Structure 1
Amino acid sequence: MLGSHLAGLRGGLEAALLLGLLAAWLGRARAAAGAAPVRAGGGRALWGGAAAAAALALLLGWSFTYGARELTPEAGRAAGGVLSVAAAGCVALTVLGPHGRRGGLVGAAGFLVVAREGLATALFVWAAVSAARDEAGSAGPLGMVLLGLAVAALLGWAAHLGVRRLPPARFRAWAGGALLVVAAGVLAQGVRDLQDAGPLGGVLAGRAADLGGAVSPDRWPGALLEGVLNVRPDPSVLQVAAWALYLVPALTLLLAPVGFGRSVPVGVEEQKKTDARTGEGAGSGAGPRGAASAGGGRGGDGADAGGERLHDGPRGAGGRTDGDPR
């Protein structure tokens, strides 16, 4: 029973976290780095892609469980590897790409994120359904799988709410960084799937580390680490290299506007530019009156000066009259 629950948790946690973080990323009207307002259609595209992937996974799982054809483990791993690489690329483009071109991209990201684990989870669900329908079977495994998926959905929703509460100055770095970290794990797992399936089997296939029972997927800590970060007890060298080559440049690009020689946050600078444009517009609208006032001031000064000169003139003339013996 515990194995069925952890299988459902691992299968749904990664997708739930990515969907929750992407929804928070797209739901904010303005990111902390002065991003342009996000289109309202981005969220609909995200959830539409996720729903389409879930429906397709259930349909394929039903066909492979009850149909004449079966999905071989090698084919399943190869498909999962391709979907993982594509999903990691879509997440990176969503976080680092232009803000106004996200509609189709986030829809593809939602589809790929769910489709990556959806097929394997659907096969497990339909197998549990078959066992429950058997006379000697029980509905317990199916219930535990669904419970694991429900817990994963709650954790994804909690991550969504937590990220949305971040202040604007920290939102871009923390939300984008979390998305890229999870996506790096997706990419690493995709590389491992491609190695296990055969296309990349001989490329840097040696074990990079031996974590042993510290991250055993049969226990809660290991299931959470594998579901969130795709940490496995025996990562390969190529898997670790792909993780680092994806995450380090992506985080550098994400944090570059904040971390390289800009003491003032970009959002503050954008607000200052907006205030300056507003002030210039107000100044230009009041230009005639300002010019009139300035002219009036100059005219007043000139009048005062002229008045002073006129006032001094009689005094000077009078002075000359008084002082002139003529």
Structure 2
Amino acid sequence: MQLLAAGGAPSIFAQMFGSGLIGLREGLETGIVVMVLVAFLVKSDRRDALKWIWAGVAIAVAMVVLIFLIIHLGTSTVSTLTAELIAGLASLVAVVIVTFMVLWMSTAAASISSELRSGLSKALVTGGPAVMGLAFLAVGREGFETALLMVGYAESVSGSLWPLLGLVVGIVVAIVLTVLLYRGAIRLNFHTFFLYTGIFLIVVAAGILAYGVRALQTVGWLPGINDVAFDFSETYDQSSWYGTVLAGIFNFRPDPTVLQVIAWAVYLVVVLFFFLRAQRRPASASKPSGESTTETPAPTDAGV
């Protein structure tokens, strides 16, 4: 509860920044998916099917909100020790999700557009419900990942609502960027964007993993709660601006256990290695400098 006790602007900023970046990245990924689907229907002169796209998106969003509320509210009605256990498990699930998200996006970004257009072509032949189902699955997958990731992230900062607000702000910014991209008002180098946000999210995930490990140590599911790797709590002010920023974004604490440090370091080295290696591959066979590795549909006059 130290972040809440601090209560200052740096603490709020720290809690909102990490979740805001998650919302921006996931929101932009989802926005690209919807943008590709809408642009394909407009170019194919099938505007009549747009309503099925929006219906699928709406159902997916409603499902994500429901999942988040069920999990988040469920942890607030149990005992402290049980909540700690749930938070620890949710954190580990969140780490798996963010790891899959950044590694998958680093290798699949170039083929997303063509795969979506191919799937939508088949769905159009089947009928409107199939189009709605395609939109639901495409958006719902991203949203489900975000919901679980945010549960783990929010629990790691003592259940504060600021991360949720940060997520909403990030998603709103992503929606604005998506509309501008669709209209052709701006251009975005997706390779660079996903590279740097991917690295940041990997570091954030390492902190969530460390939090999850300590939570499971606290309830006795993992050993070593008393094996402290180092401790400079006497000289490190956790309520200061730097303490709240580091804790809010990276889950840093001045007295981690040995197992926490090992888990953090191994995760960071291994995942960064595979992520950066995957990023170098498309770069060597990419388009000329300045072009995106993720195809952006040409601007149209369709409303988004």
Structure 1-normalised TM-score?
Answer: 0.55
SS at structure 1 position matched to 2:239: coil
Letter in 2 for 1:52: L
Partner in structure 2 of residue 72 of structure 1:
79
Deviations 1:23-60 (A, max 9, x none): 2345457xxxxxxx799999879865652354225644
Match of 2:118 in 1: none
Query: What is the match of residue 85 of structure 1?
Result: 92
Please give the alpha-carbon distance, in whole angstroms, between the structure 2 residues aligned to 1:239 and 1:116.
16
What are the within-5 Å matches in structure 2 for residues 58-137 of structure 1? 59-60=73-74, 64=77, 71-97=78-104, 99=108, 105-116=141-152, 118=154
Instruction: Choose from 189, 206, 215 the match for 1:167.
Output: 189
Does 1:239 find its partner at 2:251? no
Judge conservation of contact 1:187–1:243 (CA < 8 Å) in 2: yes
User: Cα offset for 1:224?
Assistant: 1.4
Identity %: 26
User: Relative to 1, partners in 2 of residues 1:190 and 1:13: Cα closer, same or farther, differing over 3 Å?
Assistant: farther
Match of 2:215 among 173, 193, 207: 193
C-alpha distance in 2 between matches for 1:56 and 1:237: 34
Which is further off, 206-215 or 172-181? 206-215
Match of 1:21 in 2: 25
* Deviation readout 1:202-250 (Å, 9 max, x if unpaired): 37x5212224256543232211111111101111111111112222121
How many positions carry a matched residue from both structures?
231
Q: Which SS does the other structure have where 1:75 is aligned? A: helix
Residue deviations 1:54-96 (CA, integer Å, cap 9, x gap): 422564477x3xxxxxx32221111111000001101111111
Residues 258, 108 of structure 1: alpha-carbon distance in 2 compared, 3 angstrom cutoff: closer
TM-aligned CA deviation for residue 265 of structure 1: 5.0
Aligned counterparts, 1:297-316, within 5 A:
none
One-letter amino acid matched to 1:91: V
Q: 1:94 to 1:48 in 2, by over 3 A?
A: farther
Structure 2 length-normalised TM:
0.58
The partner residue of 1:182 within 204, 216, 219 is 204
> What is the one-letter code of the residue matched to 1:20?
L
Q: Which of 56, 66, 82 is matched with 2:70 structurally? A: 56
**Rounded Cα–Cα distance in structure 2 between residues aligned with 1:43 and 1:226:** 35
Question: Counterparts of 1:23-42 in structure 2 under 5 Å?
Answer: 23-27=27-31
Looking at CA atoms only, which structure, 1 or 2, has the larger radius of gyration?
A: 1
CA distance, structure 1, for counterparts of residue 193 and residue 152 of structure 2 = 27
Gaps (5+ residues) in structure 1?
Answer: 30-36, 65-70, 125-144, 272-326
Question: What secondary structure sits across from 1:266 in the alignment?
Answer: coil
Distance 1:43 1:234 in 2: 44
CA distance in 1, matches of 2:100, 2:153: 21
The match for 1:5 is: 7
Deviations 1:296-321 (A, max 9, x none): xxxxxxxxxxxxxxxxxxxxxxxxxx
Q: Which runs of 5+ in 2 are unaligned?
A: 39-52, 113-136, 182-186, 292-304
Amino acid corresponding to residue 181 of structure 1 in structure 2: V
Deviation at 1:173, TM superposition (A): 2.0
Is the counterpart of residue 250 in structure 1 residue 271 in structure 2? yes
Check conservation: 2:16, 2:167, Cα contact below 8 A. Answer: yes
Change (3 A) 1:249 1:119: closer
Change (3 A) 1:170 1:44: farther
